[in-house]
Amino acid sequence: MKVCVFAASSSRIDPAYITAAEELGSEFARNGVHAIFGGGGIGLMGVFADSLMAGGGSVTGVIPGFMMDEGWGHSGVNDMVVTPDMSERKKTIFAMSDAAVALPGGVGTLEELTEVITLKQLGQFNKPIVIVNVNGFYDHLIEFFEHMYRGNFIRLEHKDIWQIVTTAAEVIPALTNYTGWHADPKVIARI
């Protein structure tokens, strides 16, 4: 299984998030999950990749050329795909992946997560999406999704597009036990 992981590039964050990234990397390595990630060498991205590789796991980085030019790529990742821009980075990551997992992160992580949710809503990414809500990091986003549902901006069925877990240890079971979402998402995409 190939799973894309969205995660923070910041290193100045609560240690609980760093621990979660380390644990997820270890879980992926232990379970033979090949990770696709943003290719960064710092923050949760770097911690996740380091942990996965330390456990003998395999990882592919996907990074825009300008980021490589800035020296932001993970120097220990041998399988690095360089794209012309951020849009192609996401397209490449989504196309290579059998599932998506979001660790805590900033606006880049949020943008990746909401794009993959949108693609699934439109029937373009019919794969599992798992949000790792460590220490309630995503509580406000989840509440905002509820607000959208209550305001009829999304359907009740759309709440089942993603799964929410609170620890890295729950990610593999969530992916393994995924039974699918909707047979034809396009028929319910329109509100």
Residue 31: name the closest of 179, 173, 162, 134 by CA.
Answer: 173
pLDDT of 190 above 90: no
Please tell me the distance from the alpha carbon of residue 107 to that of residue 113, in angstroms, as a whole number: 10
Domain residue spans of the chain: 2-189
Pick among 3.40.50.450, 3.40.50.620, 2.70.70.10, 1.10.260.40: CATH of 2-189: 3.40.50.450
pLDDT-based confidence at residue 11 (cuts at 50, 70, 90): confident
CB atoms within 10 A of CB 128: 25
pLDDT at 7: 97
What is d(CA 28, CA 180) in angstroms, rounded to the nearest whole number? 21
What pLDDT digit, counting tens, does each position of 25-43 carry?
999 999 999 999 999 999 9
